[in-house]
Amino acid sequence: MSESAASAAAALLDRIQAPEGAGREIPDAATRDVIGRAPAHAVADLDDAIARAKAAQPGWEALGHARRSELLLAAADAIDANAEALAHLLSREQGKPLNGPNARFELGACSAWLRTNAGIQLDPQVLVDDESLHAELVYKAAGVVGAIGPWNWPLMITIWQIGPSLRMGNTVVAKPSEYTPLSVLAMLAVMNDVLPDDVLIGISGDREVGARLASHPDIDKIMFTGSTATGRRIIESSAGNLARLTLELGGNDAGIVLPGTDVAAIAQDLFWGAFINTGQTCAAMKRLYVHDSVYDEVVDALAEIAASVPMGNGLDEDNVLGPLQNRAQFDIVSRLVEEAKGRGARVAAGGEAAPELGELFYRPTIIADIDNDAALVQEEQFGPALPVIRYSDVDEAFGFANSVDVGLGASVWSSDPEAAREAATRMESGTVWINSHGGLHPMVPFGGVKSSGYGLEFGVEGLKSVAVTQVVSGPGRKAQA
């Protein structure tokens, strides 16, 4: 990372952080040094932001789709122009390295998703067009959207929420996670250099502010990515205002390696399907079921990769794995691995913290010979530890994979395309990948089933999710003639 990028990151930070002696200190995930001070907005600040967003919304919607799309493209250009500075700030705050599928990758995804949303067409749907009736279903802005983001992919997921919302004519009040507010507020400041006033407002606050955002009478739509437990509280909070909801909640994604699979051909993709962002990804692979015929080969291949992947401070250009973002998540990973070891599971790689790298670093861990009922399998670890479960009967593997109460993503791995596609239909999840895991595309809808939430994001369906429908019904062709 160049000195110029670091200086630009400091300049961005100065634009959005609280004054000296105010706000809340935010630590560097790798070094635990203080990066800066997040504004400590209160409920009154949120109420003011929502009032401003509500006042700005009619004028924003009145600009029309074409003009709003132009402004989204300008916002994408602004992100690209500041990408290195934002990546520097993101790497420090979240912990993810600059390189690999991490900070620079995340900034590239932000501008790409904005550009895609700017170009999506959502035309009225003709329902009936005959002699007696012409009826169309049209999509209009919902109003004011409350966007509540997570700490693992704070910039990209915020764009997933605000991109389609702005495109449809909504205004947005965005609340980043308390763990990663600085990088999000900096990105919003860059976007607001080209957007009209009060169309997009960032609020940095605690859980009280988040609860008020979900329950506020002038919020028309809530988009939330985070834990299932918090999602349930948002549902309860929104009961009073009947805000529409899109919830992308917890996952415990399963992968199944079918018999006869060429392990060498899939090993790298298997590893990164689980360890992207050091395992801190909702749709990362959290448990892997492998057939007897290739089990030992898969474990050995994953362990070899885990032992060789560079881990350390994200600002070091050589590293591709970083720390856990916060102490609470580090403790969860440590607890689950220790419980697995106590049950007699075999540590094929890692299995311990890496204190020489920093306080919250945990070595990439492969746990083999583990029972399906172990806590590391049944609970979402959200970190760099992958349990690999042996199976001999394919039906049993699908039973194990589908037995949890979440269903965000899943994957099947096979050298036989036909067998893989048949197997994919048996998985109980919103998305199933074949010979990969976790890849997303801005035009392909994404959402969970069971306790992983509801509602779809991305593409045409994503625009529909931040709109309200109206049926326009009138005379048919006979009356018009």
Catalytic residues: 248
C-alpha to C-alpha distance for 32 and 389, rounded to whole angstroms = 35
**Rounded-to-integer distance, Cα 395 and Cα 458, Å:** 33
Lookup: tokens for 137: 């279903």
Q: How far is CA 171 from CA 50, 151, 390, in A?
A: 9, 22, 50
Tokens of 29: 């995930």
The answer to whether 444 and 461 have CB atoms below 8 angstroms apart is no
DSSP string computed for 283-295: TSEEEEEEEGGGH
Contact between residue 287 and residue 381 where contact means Cβ atoms under 8 Å apart: no
If 0-12 CB within 10 Å is exposed, 13-18 middle and 19+ buried, where does residue 334 land?
middle
Q: Residue 473 CB: number of other CB atoms within 10 A?
A: 12
181-192 and 64-81 are packed helices; what angle lies between their axes, rounded to 10 degrees?
A: 120
Run of H or E residues at 256:
strand 253-257
